[in-house]
Amino acid sequence: MRQLLLPTWCPGCGSAGVSLCRECAEHFTHWFRAESAADALPPGIPVWAAAAYAEEAARIVMAWKSGHRPDLQGPLHRLARHLGARFGRSRRPGAPLVVVPAPSGWRRRWRGNEVVAPLARELAAGLHAVGVPARSEAVLQRRGGGHHHLGKAQRRRERAAAISLRRGGSRRPWEPGAQVLLVDDVLTTGATLAASAAAAAQLGPVIGAIVLAATPKPVYRE
């Protein structure tokens, strides 16, 4: 009866009765380095991704980001905790981490559809669960909205000018030697992460970023 009144389906493949089916969830288990496909990222910022931003994974992320599928929040937040734990297990004991979400534009904030900051909080919880001292801090702000119609060079300049530290910075004292781990939902050109890294580096060294999905590196065929 509940399914008749409020039908649920997996946005990846259309399977009825589930928010995210097991097969489509498997698309977010391909942990890989993704920075080579982002030409706007400066050298030295590694990016780890859980999925290639294509086909089923892209449909799932877009359904979640649009705000039309709030039921995806639970599965994707659990995925973020898993990613945090996975990263934490591979990390040698050392400096505490501050997990910093890439900031969203004002339209998304106005609609109350902020997705990256909650993702960062869950990822920090996953790090903490495996013994890595970590906390999430939304220390960055962004003026304006997304301009996805811009070219790569224009988008890079727009992001660099729009992203900065929030006034007052962190809500809590910054631990001595703390390092920054950035979080975003999707990596495309890398312009947002590059600008976020430049701003966050004022607080501590940026050791890399974690994203849910990354645009696959183009394959050129003759």
pLDDT tens-digit profile of 117-158? 999 999 999 999 999 999 999 999 988 655 555 555 555 666
The C-alpha atoms of residue 114 and residue 211 are separated, in whole angstroms, by 15
Q: Domain spans of the chain?
A: 29-214
Give the pair of three-digit tokens for residue 53.
């931003």
Query: In this predicted structure, what is the pLDDT of residue 221?
Result: 43
Mean pLDDT of the residues in the chain:
84
Please provide residue 186's backbone torsions phi and psi, each rounded to the nearest 5 degrees.
Answer: -135, 140
pLDDT (tens digit per residue) in 197-206? 999 998 899 9
Nearest to residue 145, comparing CAs of 159, 166, 164, 160? 159
pTM more than 0.75: yes
- The class level of CATH for 29-214 reads alpha beta
Query: In this predicted structure, what is the pLDDT of residue 3?
Result: 46
| Pick from 36-45, 125-134, 161-170: least confident | 161-170
Stated as kind and residue range, the H or E segment containing 25 is helix 22-25
Any residues with CB less than 8 A from the CB of 162 and at least 6 apart, and which? 142, 143, 144, 195
Mean pLDDT value of segment 60-87: 92
Task: Measure CA of the first residue to CA of the last residue in the chain; give whole Å.
Answer: 54
